[in-house]
């Protein structure tokens, strides 16, 4: 039974929705854990499926796979989580008194050590715009097609393609072809 059928049946029999959770929770958890860490992923995977359950009547029946829809919900929750974190940090800074020089030095040492241990990928991902990062992670880490990413993020497929090109690896240009005539170092051997 495909996901669209499960969602349709769950409108009359809510317990049917558990099939979707069993099918897709590991994938959604992996995506969330890669973005936020395991602890946050546990909370947000539950929230993702709760949101999906509440909004199950908005699922487009023409799609047989609900995973892109669930990735879209999870991505929106990540964005909300990030906004909440920024808000909390600003509040914390506004309320927390300045630290002493000794504490600051310890904090700097901790920060430098942590930065040295981060993978280059983390820096590269941080440099991407939010939309590009979402497209990249859904297509590369979660192995979704352009069409599935577009459905998950509710954006046109052309936008997904252009964002994929924008954040994809830069390929070296091939060298200019050698000519038969000209100086010896330019001739084909």
Same domain, 3 and 64: yes
Give the count of beta carbons closer than 10 Å to the beta carbon of residue 154: 11
User: Do 19 and 88 fall into the same domain?
Assistant: yes
Q: Decide: residue 45, CB within 10 A, 0-12 exposed, 13-18 middle, 19+ buried.
A: buried
Q: What is the four-CA torsion angle of 71, 74, 78, 83, rounded to 10 degrees?
A: 120
Instruction: Please tell me whether residues 8 and 90 are part of one structural domain.
Output: yes
Shared-domain flag, residues 1 and 83: yes
What does the alpha-carbon distance between residue 43 and residue 127 come to, in Å, rounded to a whole number?
26
- Based on the fold, state whether residues 81 and 145 are members of the same structural domain: no
Q: In Å, how far are 32, 39, 40, 81, 178 from 45, measured between CA atoms?
A: 7, 10, 9, 12, 56
**Is 89 part of a structural domain of the chain?**
yes
Report residue 179's pLDDT band, with 50, 70 and 90 as the boundaries: very low
Q: Does 111 score more than 50 pLDDT?
A: yes
CATH code at 22? 1.10.1740.10
185 found inside a domain: no
Number of domains in the chain: 2
pLDDT tens digits, one per residue of 121-142: 666 767 778 788 888 888 887 8
Same structural domain, 9 and 67: yes
pLDDT confidence band for 168 (50 / 70 / 90): low
Residue 74: CB atoms within 10 Å: 29
Top-confidence residue, 182 or 155: 155
In a domain, 148, yes or no: yes
In a domain, 141, yes or no: yes
Which pLDDT tens digit goes with each residue over 65-102? 999 999 999 999 999 888 887 777 676 666 655 555 56
Residue 117 in tokens: 């241990």
Most confident option among 95-99, 103-107, 119-123, 142-146: 142-146
Model confidence over 4-43: pLDDT tens digits?
Answer: 999 999 999 999 999 999 999 999 999 999 998 888 899 9
Task: Flag whether 74 is in a domain.
Answer: yes
CA distance 133 to 29: 18
**DSSP-assigned letters across all residues of 107-166:** HHHHHHHHHHHS-HHHHHHHTS-HHHHHHHIIIIIS---HHHHHHHHT--HHHHHHHHHH
Reported pTM: 0.58
Query: Across the chain, what does the average pLDDT equal?
Result: 79
User: Does 85 lie in the same domain as 146?
Assistant: no
Q: What is the pLDDT of residues 41-51, one digit of tens each?
A: 999 999 999 99
Q: What is the pLDDT of residue 51?
A: 95
Are 4 and 90 members of one domain? yes
pLDDT of residue 121: 64
pLDDT of residue 114: 58
Domain around 19: 1-96
């Amino acid at each position: 039974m495909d996901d669209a059928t499960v969602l349709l049946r769950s409108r009359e029999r809510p317990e049917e929705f558990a099939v979707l959770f069993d099918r897709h929770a590991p994938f959604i958890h992996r995506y969330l854990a890669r973005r936020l860490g395991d602890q946050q992923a546990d909370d947000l995977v539950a929230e993702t499926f709760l949101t999906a359950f509440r909004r199950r009547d908005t699922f487009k029946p023409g799609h047989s796979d609900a995973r892109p829809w669930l990735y879209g919900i999870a991505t929106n929750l990540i964005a909300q989580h990030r906004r909440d974190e920024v808000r909390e940090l600003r509040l914390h800074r506004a309320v927390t008194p300045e630290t002493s020089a000794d504490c600051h030095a310890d904090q700097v040492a901790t920060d430098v050590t942590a930065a040295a241990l981060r993978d280059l990928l983390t820096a590269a991902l941080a440099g991407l715009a939010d939309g590009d990062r979402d497209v990249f992670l859904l297509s590369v880490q979660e192995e979704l097609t352009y069409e599935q990413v577009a459905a998950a993020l509710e954006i046109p497929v052309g936008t997904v393609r252009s964002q994929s090109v924008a954040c994809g690896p830069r390929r070296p240009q091939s060298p200019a072809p050698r000519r038969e005539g000209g100086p010896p170092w330019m001739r084909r051997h």
